[in-house]
């Protein structure tokens, strides 16, 4: 299905939730809606599903205006954050319920339920009830009920958010396999940049009711259109330094030194105000190469998250707060004075209007790649 939103605005209770959104989903692919909580992702999905009607604008499905068509008349399925299963029914009956509503033949129901249950590894649980299942199994049951309908559009509103990390990783991998045949257009909402990158496909960055950028996921990650996109598509957020471009093409950083930036940036911006962006993963405890520059800092906080360490730093010149994302466990005493290193080839340059004018020479191929 080719789903398009044209100038969609949603106003409710005196508040504007979406501002003139234009978005054309890529058919047969996973389309991620990435944005913080209350960015407008769920509202977008409800409009796509026909659960909410936009205040203005149109929704098109394969070129047909379906703006006023109810959700019951649309060929889609939706899965929410919460496990929505019928507690009195068995897993089999939960999965089969939409097919029974469609008056599908019993033999076909059995075949399709067993097929989708096997794909989601719950075929051995078909006679149990939802209360007897783990959280991951309950969400698999909800996913199976959506998939058994074989719709051309599947909307997944943060479907893994209430699961533990290992289950999320497992189910995420299964989802990419389930939708790899290119027959279903998938919309997947998430607040996590890592999830968008792991799902691949295409990503729309959403914030404050607007779609800020849409395109192939790695393209958006490697070349964020502006400062706002860079902030959303980095966790922790990209370090931003208010700087000044000089006549010689260098950028004067507020941490006590100048760094060379690419000629394209200097030509696009000229001299004057700019912002330099540094990914937390590009601040290192050792130089990356001979061009790396040392930034003297004081460690204010160290956080361990999984296999990564986050250092909250305060520069000794300029008093700027920075966050460094390091692979592995690093035990460093608070208050320690240390140098972190930046590579000028890994810097983003944003103009005074906050739009991207130069991206790093070294492009990422995966999350956290250096």
- CATH number of the domain residue 8 falls in: 3.40.50.300
- Among the candidates 206, 226, 246, a domain finishes at 226
Tell me whether residue 368 is in a domain: no
Main-chain phi, psi angles of 92, to 5 degrees: -55, -50
What does the radius of gyration of the chain's CA atoms come to, in whole angstroms? 24
Asked which of 226, 250, 265 is the last residue of a domain, the reply is 226
- Peptide bond before 236: cis, by omega within 30 degrees of 0? yes
The domain total for the chain is 2
Domain holding 262, by residue range, is 236-358
Q: Which of 86, 94, 52 is nearest to 69 (CA)?
A: 52
Query: Considering the entire predicted model, what is its pTM?
Result: 0.90
Query: Looking at the domain assignment, is residue 150 inside a domain?
Result: yes
Longest dimension (CA), the chain: 76
- Within 13 Å of residue 102, how many CA atoms lie on the same side as its CB? 17
pLDDT in tens, the chain (370 residues): 899 999 999 999 999 999 999 999 999 999 999 999 999 999 999 999 999 999 999 999 999 999 999 888 888 999 988 778 999 999 999 999 999 999 999 999 999 999 999 988 999 999 999 999 998 899 899 999 999 988 999 999 998 887 777 888 888 888 888 888 888 999 999 999 999 999 989 999 999 999 999 999 999 999 999 999 999 999 999 999 999 988 887 889 999 889 887 655 556 666 788 999 999 999 999 999 999 999 999 999 999 988 899 999 999 999 999 999 999 999 999 999 999 999 999 999 999 899 998 888 766 655 444 3
Residues 116, 198, single domain; the answer is: yes
DSSP character at residue 85? -
Q: Are residues 104 and 140 in the same domain?
A: yes
244 and 220, same structural domain? no
């Amino acid at each position: 299905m080719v789903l398009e939103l044209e100038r969609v605005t949603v106003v409710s209770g005196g508040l504007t939730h979406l501002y003139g959104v234009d978005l054309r989903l890529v058919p047969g692919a996973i389309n991620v809606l990435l944005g913080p909580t209350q960015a407008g992702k769920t509202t977008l999905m409800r409009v796509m599903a026909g659960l909410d009607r936009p205040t203005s604008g149109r929704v098109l499905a394969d070129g047909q205006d379906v703006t006023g068509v109810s959700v019951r008349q649309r060929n889609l399925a939706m899965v929410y954050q919460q496990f929505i299963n019928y507690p009195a029914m068995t897993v089999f009956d939960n999965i089969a319920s939409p097919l029974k509503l469609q008056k599908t033949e019993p033999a076909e129901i059995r075949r399709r339920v067993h097929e989708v249950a096997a794909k989601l590894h719950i075929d051995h649980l078909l006679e149990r009830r939802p209360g007897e299942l783990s959280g991951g199994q309950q969400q698999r049951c909800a996913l199976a009920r959506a998939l058994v309908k074989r719709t051309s559009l599947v909307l997944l509103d943060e479907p893994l958010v209430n699961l533990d990390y290992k289950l999320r990783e497992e189910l995420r991998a299964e989802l990419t396999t389930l939708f790899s045949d290119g027959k279903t257009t998938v919309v997947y909402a998430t607040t996590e940049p890592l999830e968008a990158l792991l799902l691949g496909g295409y990503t729309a960055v959403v914030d404050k009711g607007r779609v800020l950028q849409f395109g192939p996921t790695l393209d958006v990650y490697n070349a964020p259109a502006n400062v706002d996109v860079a902030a959303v598509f980095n966790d922790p957020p990209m370090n931003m330094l208010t700087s000044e471009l000089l006549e010689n093409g260098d950028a004067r950083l507020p941490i006590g030194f100048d760094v060379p930036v690419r000629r394209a940036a200097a030509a696009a911006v000229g001299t004057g105000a700019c912002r330099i962006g540094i990914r937390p993963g590009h601040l290192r405890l050792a130089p990356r190469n001979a061009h790396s520059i040392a930034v003297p800092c004081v460690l204010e906080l160290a956080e361990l998250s999984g296999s990564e360490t986050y250092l909250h730093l305060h520069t000794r010149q300029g008093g700027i707060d920075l966050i460094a994302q390091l692979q592995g466990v690093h035990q460093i005493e608070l208050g320690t004075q240390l140098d972190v290193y930046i590579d000028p080839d890994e810097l983003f340059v944003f103009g005074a209007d906050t739009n991207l004018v130069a991206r790093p020479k070294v492009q990422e191929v995966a999350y956290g790649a250096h």
